[in-house]
Amino acid sequence: MSTVTITVNGKIVRAQTGEYLLGVLRREKIDIPALCHHEAVEPYGGCRLCTVEVTKAEWKGWSDHVVSCLYPVADGLIVQTHSAKVIELRRTLLDLYLARHPQTKLIQDMAADYGVTQTSYQTVPEPNNCILCGICVRICDRMGFSAISAVNRGHGREIAPPLNEAPPDCVGCLACALNCPTGYIKYEDAGFKRTIWKREFEILRDAKTGAPTITKEFSEYLVKNRAIPQEYFKFNDESHRKDTAVNMGKIVQWNREVSS
Ligand code: FES
């Protein structure tokens, strides 16, 4: 890895080779809209909102518009994040998003930031909050389950388990639902039962407090594939934290005793 120098909106910025532009821009606290970006998963350039204008001195006046989440930094790159053309492009995209998701707060807010409060396109007849950012699918893949995917085309495109039935590979970890930027993916925890994607899971109980921990299927997966001892799942995170605090206290006390 080596350091490269780029110019962002007239300011010299250093970055590392291998970094994507969006990460560098965010580190510089530049507000770049993005719907499909999530730091835990690989970018895929779906929403196009993070588009910026790039050029180089040797390009002799030629410039390009690129999705910054997928564009690797390179020495000498000159970036404009809010040129008139970039803003117009984002406005058009947000106008289209608003036509497809007129009731989605996230889209309304992002569009309003770009001065778009009403779509100029025909709205879809039955809008929902799934913005097809694909974060849920990529996170599920990254977790190692691949229980859901994007299916169908055009207006019928949606995220769903295979054959729209309870997905056999889901373990009820909630990574999809908790990372969905619009809260579209619904789940229900009732007592020690969790329901998500039409599938029901048993939630384990903390052996000390009786509080819920994780689903039985998720614990089995972690024991088998991540070599985490089964014993670990007898307690939830809070109990583990308390145990750690008690043990740390004992170590501090022991240190005091031996040094006095
Ligand atoms: S964040 Fe969606 S295309 Fe870059």
The matching CATH number, chosen from 3.30.428.10, 3.90.1150.10, 3.10.20.740, 3.40.50.150, for 3-82 is: 3.10.20.740
pLDDT in tens, 12-64: 999 999 999 999 999 999 999 999 999 999 999 999 999 999 999 999 999 99
Ligand 1 pocket member 23 (CB < 6 A): no
Contact 68, 82 (CB under 8 A): no
d(CA 193, CA 204): 9
Ligand 1 pocket member 131 (CB < 6 A): no
The H or E element spanning position 55 is: strand 51-55
- Predicted local distance difference test score (pLDDT) of residue 92: 98
Tokens representing 203 are 């939630």
- Predicted local distance difference test score (pLDDT) of residue 243: 72
Tokens representing 228 are 């985490």
- Predicted local distance difference test score (pLDDT) of residue 230: 84
- For CATH 3.10.20.740, list the domain ranges present in the chain: 3-82
Q: Is the pLDDT of residue 135 over 90?
A: yes
Ligand 1 pocket member 6 (CB < 6 A): no
Distance 70 CA to ligand 1 centre (A): 8
Q: Give the CA dihedral 101, 21, 78, 95, nearest 10 degrees.
A: 0
pLDDT in tens, 137-161: 999 999 999 999 999 888 788 999 9
pLDDT in tens, 185-217: 999 999 899 999 999 999 999 998 999 999 999
Ligand 1 pocket member 69 (CB < 6 A): yes
- Predicted local distance difference test score (pLDDT) of residue 85: 97
Ligand 1 pocket member 100 (CB < 6 A): no
Confidence (pTM): 0.87
Atom 3 of ligand 1: nearest residue by CA position: 45
The H or E element spanning position 245 is: helix 237-259
Question: Which of 67, 16, 28, 21 is CA-nearest to residue 46?
Answer: 67
Q: How confident is the model at residue 246 (pLDDT cuts 50, 70, 90)?
A: confident
